[in-house]
Chain A
């Protein structure tokens, strides 16, 4: 069978990774210089290496027939491996529970949870498609998701939300009953609420997003107990600062931007300029043109990915496509929404663009499979 390259999808990926490299260079130069000495391209060089590796992974996974992955072995090995790593990282990285370090390499297992979960759910839903709404069918993946999300949430709430989104989308598309969704959404709300309340700084971020003057809060809680708890966190108390600085960056960029490398917000004003807030730096330097282009590229991924629901060769490919597309686009949209101050600040990178090897490789694993499914589609 002759493979037909999905050029719009591939070019979108290529565009986003290229933009990512340029802006990691632009945004990180100042931080790299401050941390690693003058003229340092520390972050950029690491990102270039990660990008080369990621493209190799992308091309390899797009060639190899994805249907071979449709097996219990792959589904459970991936999931088990990631869970093992998550457990390990929880104890090894005592500070953030996030990174496994091995010499110059560092791996973020929570990033790998996404492809592993998608693979598992695609397999499972395909295998049990007929009895999708039976309690027995749902118990196992629900347990797996809960376990996975639970392990991730402590370190990385954003990824936890994305994992829930992936699972929700796959089950939704697979035709799960609305009632289950209602139950699930209640459970999710409770879980998210617990997750937010368990970390004072998260609570503070939510409060500051919806009630920046503490008017409602002071009415509900005149003694300030809640606020006192929220303020007790270690994160900087005015997380509004990041959002304000991001908004300044977009505004300063205007329609056409201040020009590549000319942005000022990366000079320490916008924290995480090369990771979570890279979209704001794109907005400052390339303006509306740049941000809309990035948004458009993700829309291409969205449409090309969900199109496979109709055109994929088999059920497995269809769920794989839905899971992967939702994973990438949901994460991207959450990141952008945070950057333009539509939602409370979450530590979540912009897929393919933000600095971070684990994130890039994980995204490219998924997109390689998506390309794979697409190339074999009708």
Chain B
């Protein structure tokens, strides 16, 4: 069958063929261009898109007490995040997740919408889910919900030793206590993984470049059982006497091991900080907040007198008619004691007798021994925000300062400093460094012990023996009768320092009620320092019973052998008059004409606080202004200065002003505004 081909139709097929061939040529050219010419550049871009590295978090180290009880540990948990771009209906998703996870649906919606708008592939839904929440989310089967393994810090003992152990922030970095101080050791070293990922940034193939190295476990000297008793008794007394703050330290005087360190108010480190929360509860009162120790400090004065003068416990001191005029300032005792031997001066807490002894010692030597006992410097306990307290250099002492200092005014100290100073008496005269960490165990199982450290010899052993005997008489017949222990001899000293009100510049009728003591007397096993700030009664009434109960339990727990018959000590509820026998108020009053007034009942003298800010003892307030909330909190944690926050944003105003002295128990009020 012959086919007639028309010439113009032929041409058209040829044209069609050529057009396709030209197109094919262009395609081939473009393919060569992409495959060969741009190969290096595009392959690099593709590699960058396909490969990623990520860190594998290392498990954070544990914190354990001396008996092996876990105080802090980390457990792995899932956190959920969303790829907002892949969500079909954000309203629905936010509502559903909100009710499923018990979170604010409105705010979740806000964040998801933000993610969609800014084309983010990663928005946290909720971090650190419970197992149940994880299961519920996985059951939804949405592929835009993804999970990331994180770890959650758990404090199984809650408030027990919380101020020592500290807390972590949301990224599990320490932000207070040992968690902050030992951050580098606890956190370990994260590993590195190289992975091939898909477009949703999910890993497809993994190649571990570096294994994560778990953090070091820290073993503390804390005994969780003693700590529990300490917390309980401190809280009981603080509530009974309505004290805003208080602290308690139990140490082994020989090696400085801290067996318990309590701070009131307590807090639960498992609870995150909430807005408007009183952050004072998170301050470690025992090391961060120094206070005027008052009569407790007479121990230092009289130990110095025994060490450096020819005074003996039996040396008579003239306490005269109950007052003493020192460079125009009248100092009073509560009773007119006449002539008292040195031992009774301590037992009765005579202000005049103490000052007479101090005058024998002299300013220079008193100052030197105060410093040798460790006051005015940090003890070096490995906790953040430790205060050195205040001991004014000699050059800033006034004519009457020796009288004030001898009675524990114009100086300030922390509960831990007092415990360590009394430890030096209890252990035969050596100041030891407080030992909070017994040792560390690295992830490889290597144990490194933290050795006990002696700082310096403070007293001759014989002086320490005499001092212990004198302090025993405080418990047996003096202001510390409430501290008597069943089965154990005990020694100690009470203190009731009036608290100065910076507003009126007068001392108030509230006291820093303290007791620092040890037991048994011959070879002390423990030293306990208790202080309750803002107590309405004396240290012998408020703090001594706390010592008695804590020491009793601690000695039992430690298995100490009783050194006296186990007689029952009848509970003693002193009447107000009997209580006066326990009065040991260091007279902080001045002779400032016409301003002296005798307070009713207590017999204590409320007077005007002398002169300049030197007399107000406390830390200097830093300048918080202009700092954002985070920085304010960080500064507060670092310096141990409690703050009270109002509003949000940047600190605009603060009270007291920067540079002012912050009185014990007071907070810096900061007003924030965006």
A interface, CB within 8 angstroms of B: 30, 34, 169, 172-175, 247-255, 264-265, 267-269, 283, 287-288, 291-292, 295, 298-299, 302-303, 306, 309-310, 312-315, 322, 326, 329, 333, 336-337, 340-342
Contact = CB atoms under 8 A, between A and B. Distances in A.
14 contacts: A172-B12, A172-B16, A250-B42, A255-B35, A267-B198, A267-B199, A267-B204, A268-B200, A269-B49, A291-B35, A292-B31, A299-B24, A306-B13, A310-B5
B9 A340 contact: no
B27 A175 contact: no
A51 B634 CA distance: 69
Contact of A175 (B9, B16, B34, B49): B9
Interface in B20-78: 20-21, 23-24, 26-28, 30-32, 34-36, 38-39, 41-43, 45-47, 49-50
B13 A173 contact: yes
B576 interface: no
Contacts of A175: 6, 8-9, 12
B39 A254 contact: yes
Given A254-B39, A295-B27, A342-B26, A269 B34 contact: no
Contacts of A288: 31-32, 35-36
Contacts of A267: 50, 196-199, 204
Contacts of A309: 13
A342 B199 contact: no
Residue of A337, A340, A342 ringed by the most chain B CB atoms within 10 A = A340
Contact of B38 (A251, A299, A302): A251
Majority secondary structure of chain B interface residues (helix, strand, loop or mixed): helix
B135 interface: no
A306 B35 contact: no
Interface of B: 1, 3, 5-6, 8-9, 12-13, 16-17, 20-21, 23-24, 26-28, 30-32, 34-36, 38-39, 41-43, 45-47, 49-50, 143, 196-200, 204
Given A267-B198, A314-B1, A333-B20, A253 B12 contact: no
B145 to A, nearest CB: 14
Contacts of A326: 16
B269 to A, nearest CB: 42
B13 A252 contact: no
A333 B19 CA distance: 12
Majority secondary structure of chain A interface residues (helix, strand, loop or mixed): helix
List the 4 shortest-distance A-B pairs measured between CB atoms, nearest first: A251-B42, A268-B199, A267-B198, A288-B35
A291 B13 contact: no
A283 B31 contact: yes
B8 A340 contact: no
B254 to A, nearest CB: 65
A59 to B, nearest CB: 26
Nearest to A329: B20
A21 to B, nearest CB: 22
A269 B12 contact: no
Given A267-B204, A302-B20, A251 B35 contact: yes
Nearest to A326: B16
Nearest to A252: B46
Contacts of A292: 28, 31
A248 B45 contact: yes
B77 to A, nearest CB: 26
A340 B37 CA distance: 14
Contacts of A251: 34-35, 38-39, 41-43, 45-46
Given A248-B46, A264-B50, A173 B31 contact: no
Nearest to B26: A342
Residue of B17, B20, B21, B43 ringed by the most chain A CB atoms within 10 A = B20
A295 B34 contact: no
Nearest to B33: A340
Given A250-B34, A267-B50, A267-B199, 10 more contacts: A247-B38, A255-B39, A267-B204, A268-B199, A269-B49, A287-B35, A295-B31, A302-B20, A302-B24, A306-B16
Nearest to A287: B35
Nearest to B30: A340
A175 B36 CA distance: 42
A315 B9 CA distance: 12
A303 B35 CA distance: 26
Residue of B31, B47, B49 ringed by the most chain A CB atoms within 10 A = B31
Contacts of A337: 23, 27
A306 B17 contact: yes
Nearest to B5: A310
A315 B31 CA distance: 37
Contact of B9 (A173, A303, A313): A173
Nearest to B197: A267
B12 A252 contact: no
Residue of A265, A268, A341 ringed by the most chain B CB atoms within 10 A = A268
A264 B12 contact: no
